Amino acid sequence: MHYKAFHKLSYGLYIVTSAFEGKKAGYIANTAFQVTSEPPQLAIACHKKNETTGVILKSGIFSISVLKKDLNLKIIGDFGFMSSSGLDKFSGVNFFIGQTGAPVVTSDSVAWLECRVVNSVDVGSHILIIGEVTDSDVLSDEEPLTYAWYRETYKMLAPKNAPTYLDNSKLEAGTITPEKTELPAPEPVHKTSTTQHVCTICGYTYNPEEGDPSIGIPPGTPFEDLPDDYRCPICNASKEYFKEI
């Protein structure tokens, strides 16, 4: 099996939210899709260990916000790589309470759809939850974000709980191995201003040639010269979670 074929499937990226007895929860999903038009129904695939999954199953409601292409990456970090338990993911975003009672995020979104759960199917690690759309609206004519663009642009990995998570060994196992040739011994790696570092939590790569202009880190700044309180722009992990590539 060639696992890279899975990366040819097209998806968007969405914030899925719910609430039960005053507790709000949400996460980033790519597996959200329309399954019927009459009645209008959507499906989402939710990991059993995700905090939000339990909240959706207890409340029977959820909402989906369609993220825009030109978004602030912090929203991916907050909703995509942190657990809703013990963290108020909603403190930094705009949202309102929809007619079902689910919180509807409007930050960085081009549209939203609110649903009542009508069915669910246990599919092993995940639960496929089907909801009938009760309300929806368009917020902007901006271009929606696609998962492929996000993955290629930010060299991001899916979190391990994502239905589409593939570890690198599987991806590499499916590639064609070139004929073996005698190669010279690799040069020892020296730390230079061009050494890249990858976040071991989310897969974000810090490239010193690019820096991180969004927070005032100019191009040409080696990883070692980043301030001690530097944080991954995607998942908010601190410097010790980065390793050299």
Tell me which residues touch Fe ion (CB under 5 A).
Answer: 199, 201-202, 204, 232, 234-235, 237
Least Cβ distance, residue 20 to Fe ion (angstroms): 29
In the complex with Fe ion, which residue's Cβ is closer, 117 or 237? 237
Least Cβ distance, residue 150 to Fe ion (angstroms): 14
Cβ 209 vs Cβ 219: under 8 Å: yes
Least Cβ distance, residue 73 to Fe ion (angstroms): 10
The helix or strand, by DSSP H or E, that contains position 62, with its residue range, turns out to be: strand 61-67
In the complex with Fe ion, which residue's Cβ is closer, 93 or 234? 234
Residue with tokens 């009459």: 38
DSSP class of residue 176? P
In the complex with Fe ion, which residue's Cβ is closer, 6 or 154? 154
Residues contacting residue 95 through CB under 8 Å, at least 6 positions apart: 17, 103, 104, 105, 106, 107
Cα distance between residue 171 and residue 228, in whole Å = 34
Least Cβ distance, residue 30 to Fe ion (angstroms): 18
In the complex with Fe ion, which residue's Cβ is closer, 128 or 166? 166
Cα distance between residue 178 and residue 98, in whole Å = 55
Least Cβ distance, residue 201 to Fe ion (angstroms): 4
Residues, the chain, total? 245
Least Cβ distance, residue 52 to Fe ion (angstroms): 20
Least Cβ distance, residue 88 to Fe ion (angstroms): 20
In the complex with Fe ion, which residue's Cβ is closer, 217 or 237? 237
In the complex with Fe ion, which residue's Cβ is closer, 98 or 203? 203
Cα distance between residue 131 and residue 41, in whole Å = 5
Cβ 63 vs Cβ 16: under 8 Å: yes
- At 224, is the secondary structure helix, strand, or coil? helix
Minimal CA–CA distance to 139: which of 101, 96, 202?
96
SS3 content of the chain, % helix, strand, coil (to 5): 20, 35, 45
In the complex with Fe ion, which residue's Cβ is closer, 44 or 75? 75
